A and B are shown apart, each in its own frame.
Chain A
Amino acid sequence: MSSESIALSSAGHGALSVGERLHGWITTVDHKRLGILYIVYSLIFLVIGGVEATIMRIQLIVPHNHFVSPEVFNRMFTMHGTTMIFFVAMPILFGFGTYLIPLMIGARDMAFPRLNALSFWLTAFGGLLLYFSFIGGNGLYGAGNAPDVGWFAYAPLTSRAFSVGHSTDFWSLALLVSGIGSIGTAVNFIATIISMRCPGMTLGKMPLLAWLNLVMAGMVILAVSPLTAAQIMLSIDRYLGGHFFDTQAGGSAVLWMHFFWIFGHPEVYILVIPCFAFASEIIPVFSRKPIFGYPVMVAATIAIAFISMSVWAHHMFTVGMSSYGNTFFTVTTMIIAIPTGIKIFNWIGTMWGGKIQFKAPMLFCVAFLFQFLIAGLTGIMLSASPFNWQLSGSYFVVAHFHYVIVGAILFTIFGAFYYWFPKMSGRMYHETLAQWHFWLFVLGFHLTFDFMHIPGLLGMPRRIYTYEPGRGWEIWNLLVTIGVFFQAAAILLFVGNLLWSMYRGAPAGNDPWDAWTLEWSTTSPPPDYDFATIPVIESRRPLWDLKHPEDPDWKYE
């Protein structure tokens, strides 16, 4: 009965007109469609943010360059940071979560489908609001403008004395609106994972992806709320005569820093934990072994979440905290390296003794392991607060966090794309093109971000639109900029591959990777409401049990 109705509904889609299909996408409350909307929206912003980065790198290719004015450069780094964090990384991870969580826990949709749609459209509206500042940032009396206060928008640069016009308001409102959307998504994730799991799926039998997204959603509620509150306080300062951050009237610039980083540091883990989740799904399947130390992986994630709430002021080692303050935040920051290290070792343990298949998703995850190792070690350097007094605010920090955000987060996101693309589209991607994408991106990434550490060690601060010759910075900036073009070429291959494969790729079948979690038990793409009959599971790898009835997992767990 169910399979018939599925066939009917999918046949019905083909007959719709373009207008009706568009209407269907806009009014949808289906988690799969909303997930894809999130992902496509983020990809568009990824390209925009990438163009902004390229403009900055062209400006810095030689000292005293005149490619763009200082005003434009300052807008570019503000928009690049804001875009990449709030309108690329977060929504793309929410998109994968929205798409995958119900499928992986054997549910037919999210707990609150309408809230799901509202959250997406709020986030989308936030992005449009931010970019509208290019047109409306100076109100009626001028050409376009854009926020130029940096992505963490330190007070009092955001006060009306230093930021005239409305560009800062667009920045603030965009983050306020999308922050409310993020909190909605987080509530939805938690409700779905807690209450919609299929029969047999106890918390201890959930796929790690669901566990890690549950932890991430909890962190979103704790971390995004202070940021959202701070945006309201900033607006009160700017329009209602408040003095929270207005130093000219006795407000505190340091207060804003606390508000921002109590969001900003957990945010790094909000972004990286879903990526740990991707790696924890992909590495086992391509090593042909279950994840090593499942309970330890869950415990390490929860430990990271807790500790990450107490490390925020390591972004503020240079603001003149007392030696006790600096010591406290040094030790908390160093401790977080322990659960993070445990995770890396468990992934190695998963590969150990396996039969590793180097398909594109796995290649990206292996590169992630190498790069995340380096990012973690530079993180330890930054945690030693005296060393941080030298490195903070320099290009070393810029290189470090791009190692995390590109080298770890973006790499696993690419891995996730190739891994779940067959499920989402029903077609395989082009493996050779994907491998080209991988190697070009590895080359570009290392050219850009390995060499970016060095000018920081040689005293080059971040956020400068030009620099003096003769300080030993020229050659490194040249190499860094050259790497950008390899990365751009790789991204073009990636987008081309997705578009080509969507129409021309070989049919994927239900389970192209011989994988073990529930999303691979349904058709590709999954039918409306995902499962004709709700599955019942007995172990963490229900499809393994199905494929190996003689040696099922539930005997050992």
Chain B
Amino acid sequence: MLEKRTKRSGRTRQPFRKLASIAVVLAISLSAAALCFAAPAAPSQIPSIFRPDSTPADSIFRLSRLVLIITGLIFLAVFSLLTYTVLKFRSRADDNDREPPQVYGSNQVELAWTVIPGLIVLVLFLATARVIRSVEDAPQPPAAIAVTVIGHQYWWEFRYPALGIVTANELHVPVSDPSHPTPTFLTLLSADTDHSFWVPRLAGKTDLIPNRTNHTWIEPHNTGIFLGQCSQYCGVQHAKMLLRVYVDSPQQFNAWVQQEKMPPVTDAAVESGRRIFQSTACMNCHAVSGTNADGHFGPDLTHLMSRDTLAAGAVTNTPENLRAWIQNPDSIKPGSLMPAMKLSPQDLDALTAYLETLR
């Protein structure tokens, strides 16, 4: 019925085109990867998981290097085999019309490509299991700093129970000296929806889930500012739930602790602003210690001016931004839960001036 199959011309060149395009894509990907590691300007601001600066992130990085090497070798082997097969066994213009030998399978070959991947999986699994235990089951040393992190829709609350400090969005921790380790152990809670705490250079992420207590820890080796953000979708402004970790030297950290423990400044020059704060809806959601403002829906403002950013890192903490934020939060972070306060320009100025004194 169909012994003679008609040969169609023009198919011999296609594998070369394919090969060429694969080569181009590969070249672009490799150069991209190279760029990724040799990143441009301000490298400290790039939260790359391949530039760890803390014990758990470092353990993960070393595991990921092993996994990348093994998967890279598998990729090279199978990619070459596949490319060779596709090129070598393409039909050619000068072929005869006979069908190739009909081969149905081979048990030996099947066994080989079952057992070898099995061994690779075993190696990968054992290497992984070690890291799981070393990170997840690490004991908490007595010198560790304990912080409770509470996720709120679009901002972070940090409580230091032993130090009596409450702050928001900018976590201060001391650098850990290997001879005298002071890691920070975090207890993760949520006030509303799911969130996830992720500072790539310090640790992998752990979720903050309502009705559940989670734990994670970091042990930074160098001082500096480490960027992260919420990485579990939590609502409209998930994108602007940013996170900064300030790793301070022991002296800086102690100075910061002393400053945060101070009562708020009472400056008679901003009395009208304080009255506005305490007589409008501000105090329903925000607390200023030592006053009768003790709301908990929004960040604690006792030492607002000690923070570099406003609105969970959305803008820098300047008087202009603070004024714009109070006047209309949606102009900075549309969908934020803080309402527009609809104050008169004079009241707004007075209120901003008051908040500017909360150092």
Contact = CB atoms under 8 A, between A and B. Distances in A.
A464 B82 contact: no
Nearest to A344: B78
Contacts of B101: 289, 353
Interface stretch (A5-13, A180-188, A201-209, A367-375): A367-375
A466 B239 contact: yes
Interface stretch (A19-27, A95-103, A105-113, A249-257): A249-257
B233 interface: yes
Interface in A313-347: 318-320, 322-323, 326-327, 330-331, 334-335, 337-338, 341-342, 344-346
Given A318-B206, A454-B33, A471-B227, A162 B235 contact: yes
Interface stretch (B112-120, B260-268, B281-289, B340-348): B112-120
A348 B81 contact: yes
Given A253-B210, A393-B232, A457-B36, A342 B59 contact: no
Given A357-B91, A381-B67, A451-B32, A327 B198 contact: no
A5 B235 CA distance: 61
Given A156-B193, A254-B209, A355-B89, A290 B117 contact: no
Contact of B91 (A355, A439, A461, A546): A355
Interface stretch (B121-129, B155-163, B174-182, B292-300): B121-129
A390 B64 contact: yes
Nearest to A331: B125
Interface stretch (A217-225, A291-299, A417-425): A291-299
Interface string B210-229: 11101100000000000111
Contacts of B235: 157, 162
A547 B3 contact: yes
A142 interface: no
Contact of A459 (B46, B232, B240): B46
Contacts of A475: 35
A74 interface: yes
Interface residues of A, number: 109
A288 B99 contact: yes
Contacts of A248: 210
Contacts of B210: 156, 247-248, 253
Nearest to B41: A470
B100 A353 contact: yes
Interface stretch (B102-110, B251-259, B321-329, B351-359): B102-110
A137 B328 CA distance: 27
Contacts of A553: 102
Contacts of A387: 60, 63-64, 67, 128
B32 A450 contact: yes
A358 interface: yes
Contact of B196 (A348, A356, A393, A547): A393
B89 A356 contact: yes
B85 interface: yes
Query: How many of chain B's residues touch chain A, expressed as a range?
Result: 35 or more
B204 A157 contact: no
A458 interface: yes
Nearest to B71: A377
Given A289-B103, A387-B67, A459-B46, A358 B90 contact: yes
B45 interface: yes
A256 B128 CA distance: 27
- Among A462, A467, A471, find the residue whose CB has the most chain B CB atoms closer than 10 A: A471
A358 B14 contact: yes
A2 B81 CA distance: 50
B196 to A, nearest CB: 6
Contacts of B135: 386, 389
Contacts of A327: 128-129, 132
A471 B28 CA distance: 21
A186 B74 CA distance: 36
A247 B193 CA distance: 9
Interface stretch (B18-26, B142-150, B164-172, B272-280): B18-26
Nearest to B62: A386
A531 to B, nearest CB: 18
A514 B5 contact: yes
A393 B198 contact: yes
B104 to A, nearest CB: 6
Contact of A162 (B60, B193, B232): B193
Contact of B86 (A351, A439, A548): A351
B121 A338 contact: yes
Contacts of A391: 49
Interface in A167-198: none
A157 B234 contact: yes
A442 interface: yes
A158 to B, nearest CB: 10
A294 B228 CA distance: 49
A518 to B, nearest CB: 15
A389 B103 contact: no
- The winner among A348, A387, A454 for most chain B CB atoms within 10 A is A387
Given A334-B125, A461-B198, A247 B211 contact: yes
A154 interface: yes
Interface of A: 69-71, 74, 148, 150, 154, 156-157, 162, 247-248, 250-254, 287-290, 292-296, 318-320, 322-323, 326-327, 330-331, 334-335, 337-338, 341-342, 344-346, 348-349, 351-359, 363, 366, 369-370, 373-374, 377-378, 380-381, 384-394, 435, 439, 442-443, 446, 450-451, 454, 457-459, 461-468, 470-472, 475-476, 511, 514, 546-548, 551, 553, 556-557
17 contacts: A154-B232, A253-B211, A296-B110, A327-B128, A334-B125, A334-B128, A353-B100, A370-B82, A373-B78, A377-B74, A387-B63, A389-B60, A393-B196, A457-B36, A459-B200, A461-B229, A557-B104
